[in-house]
Structure 1
Amino acid sequence: MSLEIEQLANAIASNVAIYKQHLSSHGIPAPSHSELPPEGPITLPPNVENARQAALEASHELHDLLSGSVGHIMNAAQRSTRIMVLHFIHTYKIGYNLKWGSRTTFNDIADLANLDVDDTKRMLRLAMTEHLFTEPENGIVMHTAASYELARNHLLSAWVGITTQENWSPMLRITEAMGKYPGSEEPLESAYVLAHGVKEDAFKVWEKDPARITQFSNAMAFLHAGSGFQPAEALSGFAQDTGVFVDVGGSKGHVSIQLARTYPKWKFIVQDSKQTVQLAREEIPDDVREQVSFQVHDFWTEQPVKDADVYFFKTIFHDWSDKYSIKLLRALIPSLKQGAKVIIADVCIPPKGAVSQYKEQWMRGLDIVMKCFTNARERDYDGWASLFEKADARFRFLGVRTPLGSKASFIEAEWNSHVGIINGN
C-alpha cells in the first residue's frame, strides 16, 4: 500500500503543477476559498483539463486509502451532512443578500430567516466545515467562494433546489422501492412517488406548480452550461449547411440557441410543455429570434413536425425506463423521412474499468438517481443499441461518440424506411 499511496501522491503533485503553471501563465488566480471566484467556468486546454481531472481522481483514491476500510465507510456520513446544509442554506436563502466581503452575524441571519439563532449557528458552523461561509471572528459570518457562488448564481441555486428538495428524499426510499416493486419500469412505482406521496410522475407534478417547473428549467440550464457538453458537436459531420432541427423536450432552448449561432442557415424548433414554452418565448435572445421557434408538444404523442432532418433529445431518455423510451421513439416514426437522424445527448456508461472509479462513481450514482426518480436508467453502448432495435428495425444504429471533455455522449440512429420489418406493434 505504501508504494501505491506514494504513486498517487506523486501523480497529484505533478498534475497540480501543470494546472497551476497554466493558471499562473495566463493570469488566472489559483483556486481559493477566500478569494472572489471568477464568474463563469474557466476554459482549459485539453492537456491542462486532463491534468486537473487526473489530480482529482488520484486525490479521491488517496483519500479513500488513507481513510482505511472502516473510515471509508464512515465517511458516508459526511456526504449526507453536505446535502443537509445545502438544503438549509437554499431553503432559507442564507447569505443570498450578502455581498462579497461584507460581514453579518448569526443573529441577523436568524432574524432575517425567522429562525432560532442557536439552530442557525449550529447549522452554519457545520456548513463552514464544508467551506460554505466562514467565521473570521466569533459570531461574524462572511462568504467563502462556494457560498458566494451559490448566492449569486441563480441557476446553481436551482440545481441545489432540485437536488435537495426533489431528489434527496427518494434516495432514502430506493431500497424500499426495489423490494416493493422488483425490476419495475413504471414511474408510479418509483422511490420518488413513495417519498413525495404523489399519484403522478414528477414532471406532471411540476407542471402544475410554476415555481417548481421554473426551478427545474433553471437547473437544466445550469447543467447544460457547466457539464462540458458541447452543443455544436450535435451537428458535427453533417454535409448539408441547412436543415430543420427539432429539439424535443428542449426546455427553454439552451441547446438550440447555441447551435443557431454556429449554424445560421438551420432552423430550430424547440418543443416542451406550455409553461416552459411561455417562459422560453419571453427569454429568447434577439439574435436568434428568427432562427429558433417554440412549440407546445407532448412527446408521448405523435411528432407534429414532419420530415425534419434531425430530431434531438438532450437528457430525456435517461428520465425513462426502456418501456417508455421505446414509446418515445415510436412517437417519431410517422414523421420520419428517409435518412432522418435521431440524436440523443445523454450519458453512455463505459465498460467496467474503462474509466477511473472517480468518473464511474458519478455515472453509477446518476444511474441510481434516475432509478429513484422514475424507475429510469443510464445506459451503456449495448443498451442504447438495443433500445433502437426494439423500437423498430428501420432505425439503423450509428453508434456513440463522446467529444473530448464532455460528460454527455451523442447517441445516433438513422431512419431507413426501405427496411420492411417492424418490431413490435
Structure 2
Amino acid sequence: MGHLTDLAKSILASAEAIEAHLEKTNTPIPSFEADSNIMPDDMEIIGAKLQLQTDLQDLDMLALGPREFLTAGMIGNVHDVTVINVLNQFNFWDAVPLKGSITYADLASKVKLPEALVRRLLRFSMTRHMFASTSSGSDSVKHTSVSAIFVLQPQIRCIIGHQLEEIAPACINVPQALRHWNNDAEHPSKSGCAYTFFKDTLYEAGTFEWFGKPENAYRVERFAGAMNYMMQSPAMSFTNLHNMYDWRALGAATLVDVGGSEGHISYELARAYPDMKFIVQDLPEVQASFDKARPSELDSRVSFTAHNFFKEQPVKGAEVYFMKHILHDWSDPWAAKIIQQLTAAMKPGSKLILCEGVLPPADKAPAPIVRLLSALDMQMLVALNAKERTVEDWQALLKLADERLVFKGVHQPPGVGFAIIEAEFAG
C-alpha cells in the first residue's frame, strides 16, 4: 500500500477518535461557522490531535512535492502575513458584524480603503477561511470562526500585531544582522530586531531597553496583552505549578521571585503554602503595579524589592531563588551572568528553581510540538539573540555559570507547556 493511502487511513482514524470523544462529551464538532466552538484541549484527545496534524502536514507536502511546497507554499505564507497585517491594522474584525453580514461597499467605507482593494484582500484571506461570502456570487461578507476569534478574544490582536509589526520585519533582517555584526548571535543588541529598529545604538539590554523608550509605550502595552493572552492557555496556567514540584517540602522557606513582575506567581504559591515567604524582585518602575496587585491578606508574606538581576543579589542565603521565563530571553553568556549574581548570594543547600521551556529531542516528540517549540527558539533568536534550550543545554548553562550548582532534574507533566528545572548549590 502506498504511503499516501497509509497517511489517509491514519488521518481518518485520528479524526474518528476525536469525533467520538466530542460526541461522548456532548461537545459540538467545530466548523468554520462564526459561532462554532473551538476544538477543546482535552487530555484524552491530545495524542489524536497531534497525530492528525502530523499526518495532514506530511500528506500536504507529499501531494505538492518539494518544488510546489517551497515555491507556491512560500508565496502563500508570505502573503498570509501581508493580508492579516492589513486586516489587523485597519480593523476589519470589528467592521464586519459578528452576526449578519456587510456589503463590500459598506465594509470599504468603514475601514477607509478602496473597495477594489478590500475585495482583493478578502479574496486571499478567504482561502484561509478568514471571512466568507454569504453565498456563491454574493456581494456581502460575513465572519467565520477564524475571523470571529478576533472579536470574541480581542487580545489575540496583540499577538498578531507584535508578530507582524515587530517580529516579521526583523525576521527578514537576520542575515543582514549576522553579516553586520560578524555572525554574533549572542549579544542582545545585535539581533534581527536590533538591526531593524535600532542598528546604530548598542543598548545594554537590547530589545527590552529599546522597548522601554517612551515612543514605544504602545508596543509595550501590546506585548503585555499578547503575554496575558498566552497565559490563558491551560497548558501555560500558573496552577500547573502545584503539580510540578513538591513546594510543601520546602517548609518555612523564603523564595526570591527574581524578575517576578507584579508577583502573580508568588501570590499563587503563597495562598497554597502558608509557611513560605516570598520576595518579588523587579525594576523600580514595577513596584506601583505590584502594590496595586498584591492581595491584602498576603501583605505580611509577599514583599517587593527593586532589583536589576544583572546586579548584586541583595537577599543573601535564601532557601530558594526562582525565575520564570527569564533566562530564555538571554543567550548563554548573559544568562550565566544572571545566575552568577544568585550563586554569589546562596548558602549551601539553596535551590535554584527555573520555570522554563525545554526543547525535546526532535525524534522523541510529535512533529507539531517540535515545530512549535523550534519556532519559539527562532522567535528568541530574531527578537533577542536568545534561545530556547534542551535539557543538555540547561545543564551546560548551569555548569557555565557556576560548577557548584548541582543539576537535580526536570519536572514536566504531560500537557504542560513549561518545565521546572531544579538545581542545588553545593557551596
> Are residues 25 and 394 of structure 1, via their aligned partners in 2, closer, same or farther at CA, if it must alter by over 3 Å?
same
Give the 5 Å matches for 1:20-35: 20-35=19-34
Give the 5 Å matches for 1:44-55: 44-45=42-43, 47-55=44-52
The whole-number CA distance in structure 1 between the counterparts of 2:85 and 2:17 is 36
Which residue identity lines up with residue 212 of structure 2 in the other structure? E
Partner of 2:165: 165
The whole-number CA distance in structure 1 between the counterparts of 2:371 and 2:119 is 33
Partner of 2:133: 135
Structure 1 residue 314 corresponds to structure 2 residue 313: no
Partner of 1:63: 60
Residues 95 and 107, structure 2, Cα contact 8 Å, conserved in 1: no
- Quote how far apart the aligned CAs of 1:409 are: 2.3
Q: Which moved more, 1:72-81 or 1:269-278?
A: 269-278
Partner of 2:193: 192
Q: 3-state SS of the aligned residue for 2:328?
A: helix
The whole-number CA distance in structure 2 between the counterparts of 1:266 and 1:273 is 23
> Are residues 227 and 344 of structure 1, via their aligned partners in 2, closer, same or farther at CA, if it must alter by over 3 Å?
farther
> Are residues 99 and 335 of structure 1, via their aligned partners in 2, closer, same or farther at CA, if it must alter by over 3 Å?
farther
> Are residues 243 and 109 of structure 1, via their aligned partners in 2, closer, same or farther at CA, if it must alter by over 3 Å?
farther
Give the 5 Å matches for 1:143-182: 143-180=143-180, 181-182=182-183
Q: 3-state SS of the aligned residue for 1:170?
A: helix
Residues 267 and 298, structure 2, Cα contact 8 Å, conserved in 1: yes
- Quote how far apart the aligned CAs of 1:52 are: 1.4
- Quote how far apart the aligned CAs of 1:254 are: 4.8
Tell me the TM-score normalized by structure 2.
0.87
Residues 29 and 37, structure 2, Cα contact 8 Å, conserved in 1: no
Residues 159 and 226, structure 2, Cα contact 8 Å, conserved in 1: yes
Structure 1 residue 326 corresponds to structure 2 residue 336: yes
Partner of 2:222: 215
Residues 30 and 37, structure 2, Cα contact 8 Å, conserved in 1: no
Which residue identity lines up with residue 121 of structure 1 in the other structure? R
The whole-number CA distance in structure 2 between the counterparts of 1:242 and 1:13 is 54
Deviations 1:269-294, CA, capped at 9 Å, x for gaps: 44444555544554567787776555
Partner of 2:312: 302
- Quote how far apart the aligned CAs of 1:183 are: 4.0
The whole-number CA distance in structure 2 between the counterparts of 1:82 and 1:110 is 20
Q: Percentage identity across aligned positions?
A: 27
Structure 1 residue 115 corresponds to structure 2 residue 120: no
Q: 1:367 aligns with which of 344, 355, 377?
A: 377
Q: Which moved more, 1:161-170 or 1:219-228?
A: 219-228
The whole-number CA distance in structure 1 between the counterparts of 2:6 and 2:82 is 35
Q: 3-state SS of the aligned residue for 2:33?
A: coil
Which residue identity lines up with residue 66 of structure 2 in the other structure? S
- Quote how far apart the aligned CAs of 1:401 are: 2.6
> Are residues 281 and 77 of structure 1, via their aligned partners in 2, closer, same or farther at CA, if it must alter by over 3 Å?
farther
Residues 329 and 384, structure 2, Cα contact 8 Å, conserved in 1: yes
| Count of residues in correspondence between the two structures | 414
- Quote how far apart the aligned CAs of 1:186 are: 0.9
The whole-number CA distance in structure 1 between the counterparts of 2:210 and 2:19 is 46
Which residue identity lines up with residue 111 of structure 1 in the other structure? S
Q: 3-state SS of the aligned residue for 2:260?
A: coil
Partner of 2:389: 379
Q: 3-state SS of the aligned residue for 2:313?
A: coil
The whole-number CA distance in structure 2 between the counterparts of 1:102 and 1:283 is 40
- Quote how far apart the aligned CAs of 1:246 are: 3.3
The whole-number CA distance in structure 2 between the counterparts of 1:145 and 1:384 is 40
Residues 217 and 251, structure 1, Cα contact 8 Å, conserved in 2: no
The whole-number CA distance in structure 2 between the counterparts of 1:247 and 1:122 is 50
The whole-number CA distance in structure 1 between the counterparts of 2:154 and 2:287 is 20
Residues 271 and 297, structure 1, Cα contact 8 Å, conserved in 2: yes
Deviations 1:180-236, CA, capped at 9 Å, x for gaps: 321431122211111223523211122223222121122122222227135345452
Partner of 2:86: 88
Q: Which runs of 5+ in 1 are unaligned?
A: 418-425
Partner of 1:205: 210
Residues 90 and 161, structure 1, Cα contact 8 Å, conserved in 2: yes
Residues 358 and 388, structure 2, Cα contact 8 Å, conserved in 1: yes
The whole-number CA distance in structure 2 between the counterparts of 1:77 and 1:230 is 36
Residues 210 and 275, structure 1, Cα contact 8 Å, conserved in 2: no
> Are residues 113 and 70 of structure 1, via their aligned partners in 2, closer, same or farther at CA, if it must alter by over 3 Å?
same
Partner of 1:423: none
